[in-house]
Amino acid sequence: MTDRIAERVRAVLPRVVEQRRDFHRHPELAYEEVRTSGKVIEWLGALGLEVRSGIGKTGVIARLRGDRPGKTIALRADMDALPVQEATTHGSARHGFASLVAGKMHACGHDVHTAMLLGVATVLSELRDQIAGEVRFLFQPAEEGLGGAVPMIEAGAVDGVDLALGQHMGPTHPTGTIALSRGPAMAATDFFTLKILGRGGHGAYPHLSVDAIPIAAQVVTALQTIVSRSVDPLEAAVVTIGTIQGGFRNNVIAPEVEMTGTVRTFDRTLRESLPARVERIVRGVADAHGARYELDYALNYPAVVNDPTAAQLLERAAAEVLGADRVQVIPPSMAGEDFAYYAERVPACFYWLGCRPLGAQDFANLHSPSFAPSWRARRWISSRARAEAGRVARRGSGLIVAP
C-alpha cells in the first residue's frame, strides 16, 4: 500500500509544485480567497469528489467516500495570505514566482498547505477502492486572526468526524522532519487595548495635570507581575505589551496613552481568570493617580490541545513513512492557531512540517517578508504528502483496508 501511495505522490508532485507557485504569485487575504478557492474547487471537482463551496465566503469542503464503511478523518489546510510586502531577494523571487500583488504575500506557508492537500486528495481519490470510511478535505479561509475555522465548523465541517489533522510549515525544524506535541500544542491567544485617560497641560506645570505617560509606564511594569507573581511557576503564561503611543509635543503633558497587548495561556481556568486580573491592576494604578481608563479585552483563539491517541497515531504513521529519527516530540508553542476550534470538538492533532533549508543557520521565520520554505521541493512536499496519505493508510486507523 505504501508503495502505491509513493508512486502516486511522485506522479502528482510536479503539478502540486506548480499549483503552489501559482498560489504564491496570487496571494489573497482573509475572506478574500476567491481566486484561490476557485482553483481548489476546479481541482477537486475534476477528482469527482463531493464539493461544497462558499463556506464562510470562500471555504471549501470536499468529501471522499470509500467503498467500504468506516471512520471519518478530516484533513485541513488554510488558504489566506498576509498583508506583507514580499522581499525581492529570497527564494521565491529568485525562482520567478514571487507575489504579484503589492503588499500581500504568503508569508506563513498557507499556499504550501493548500497545494499539498490538493495533492493528498488526488492520491487518495485514486485509492478510493481501498478506503474504508470517509476522508474529508477542509480548505479554510481566514486563519490569520479572523477565525475562519468557526464558519467551517458551523457548516458541518467536522460533523461525524472521528479524527481531524492539521499541519503548519515549521521553519525552525529541518526539512524532512515532522514535529508534534503530546497534549497542549499551541497557546490560547487573547488581546487587549488599553487607554489611560489623564488630563493634559503645560509641561512646566505637571502638578496641574494628570500625566498619562508615567501612569502608563507603571501599568506596563505592574502587568509583568501577573506572570511572575500571580501564576503558578509550573504553568506557562505570557503577558506582552506590543505597542504604546502617547504624547505629541515635548512641552505638553500627555492627556492619553494607548497600548495594546497579548496574553498567552494553555490552562483554561487560568485563561478565564486573567481578564479580571489585568483590569484589577489597571484600575488600581489609575485610581492611585486620579486617572481613568478604558480596557477592551478580547478572548481570541483557544489553546490547541492534541488528543493523545491522535498524536500517537500520527507519530507512529510518520515514523513508518519517514523514519523514527525524523519525528520530533517538542514542547508546546506560545503561538496560536484557530485549528483549536476543531480540536475542541473532535479528537485532533496539529503538527509542524520541517522546512528549514538543510544546513542553514540563518533562516527567515514565519510572517517574515523573506520567508521561503526549503525548495528542495521533491523532498519536503513528498514527505508531507506521503505522511498525510500514509497515516490514513494505517490499518489501526480503521480508515483504509489494506489489499
Q: Which domains does the chain have, with CATH numbers?
A: 2-187+303-397 (3.40.630.10), 188-301 (3.30.70.360)
Cβ-based neighbours of 368, under 8 Å, separated by 6 or more: 84, 107
pLDDT score of 9 more than 60: yes
pLDDT of residue 389: 53
Give tens-digit pLDDT for 230-276.
999 999 999 999 999 999 999 999 999 999 999 999 999 999 999 99
| 80, 111, 211, 338: the active-site residue | 80
Q: What does each C-alpha distance from 7 to 44, 127, 326, 382 come to in angstroms?
A: 20, 12, 21, 11
C-alpha cell recorded at residue 354 = 520541517
Q: Is 80 a catalytic residue?
A: yes
Q: Smallest Cα–Cα separation from 344: which of 372, 379, 305? A: 305
Q: Ramachandran region of residue 214, left (φ > 0), alpha (ψ -120 to 50) or beta?
A: alpha
Please state the pTM of the whole predicted model: 0.89
| 28, 32, 143, 388: the active-site residue | 143
Spatial separation of the C-alpha atoms in residues 403 and 400, rounded to whole Å:
9
C-alpha cell recorded at residue 246 = 502617547
Give tens-digit pLDDT for 38-91.
999 999 999 999 999 999 999 999 999 998 899 999 999 999 999 999 986 665
pLDDT score of 313 more than 50: yes
pLDDT of residue 123: 94
Q: Is 258 a catalytic residue?
A: no
Q: Smallest Cα–Cα separation from 225: which of 288, 191, 274? A: 274
pLDDT of residue 397: 44
Enumerate the β-bridge partners of residue 333. 186
